Amino acid sequence: MHNIVDIVQSQVISSVKSEKDIEIAIHSNSNITFILTGDILTTKGYIDQLNQAGKMTFVHIDFIEGLSNTKSAISYIAKVWKPVGIITTKSNLIKYAKEEGLMTIQRLFLIDRNALNKGIEIAHNCKPDAIEVLPGLMPSVIDELTNLTTLPIIAGGLISNKEEILNGLKAGALAISSGNPELWNLEL
């Protein structure tokens, strides 16, 4: 089993939100791709294409149409789709995915101080491989998070330029996820 820190080569993660961006992600510098689009019929094909291109794929299972939030759905993803891991906001699915040998990323929406504290508490209980925090435009909060947890931090959401990416990395994020294909080829 890999460690998330070890697999990050490009510190910009391609976050694919529509089918048309799969091909762009395949040819990007990003070695990790988050899949935030698809359904139970199309997602395996996306993963296969990205895997064949040498990309490490994580499926954001909260966004895949037709999946249920069950242990059997996670087992199916692990055995049939074969991504490197999953992303989810649901801590019980993190537990199931870990049991199936998948890497896990817990997504947290930091809307206020309470959400930050509760999110860290939940993450420490379910022990994902990393935490993805949204929105990612908060260098001071990223810095604070790195002092509250030893889990790697990935920042995403509302990232629109290289300066914002660099600010997030400088604040201590392991990587930045972006849905903007123009940012996937930065040499970071």
Q: Give the span between the Cα atoms of 103 and 25, in whole angstroms.
A: 20
Residue 109 has pLDDT above 60, yes or no: yes
Q: How many Å from the N-terminal Cα to the C-terminal Cα in the chain?
A: 25
Residue 3 pLDDT = 85
Residue 1 has pLDDT above 70, yes or no: no
pLDDT single digits (tens) 34-82: 999 999 999 999 999 999 999 999 999 999 999 999 999 999 999 999 9
Q: Which amino acid is at 130?
A: A
Q: Give the span between the Cα atoms of 109 and 89, in whole angstroms.
A: 9
Place of tokens 């790195």: 146
pLDDT single digits (tens) 135-187: 988 999 999 999 999 999 999 999 999 999 999 999 999 999 999 999 999 98
Residue 6 has pLDDT above 70, yes or no: yes
Residue 188 has pLDDT above 60, yes or no: yes
pLDDT single digits (tens) 7-30: 899 999 999 999 999 999 999 999
pTM for the model: 0.94
Residue 133 pLDDT = 95
**Domain spans, the chain:** 4-183
Residue 23 pLDDT = 97
Superfamily classification of domain 4-183: Aldolase class I (3.20.20.70)
Cβ contacts of 118 within 8 Å, gap of 6 or more:
none
Backbone φ and ψ of 132, nearest 5° = -105, 125
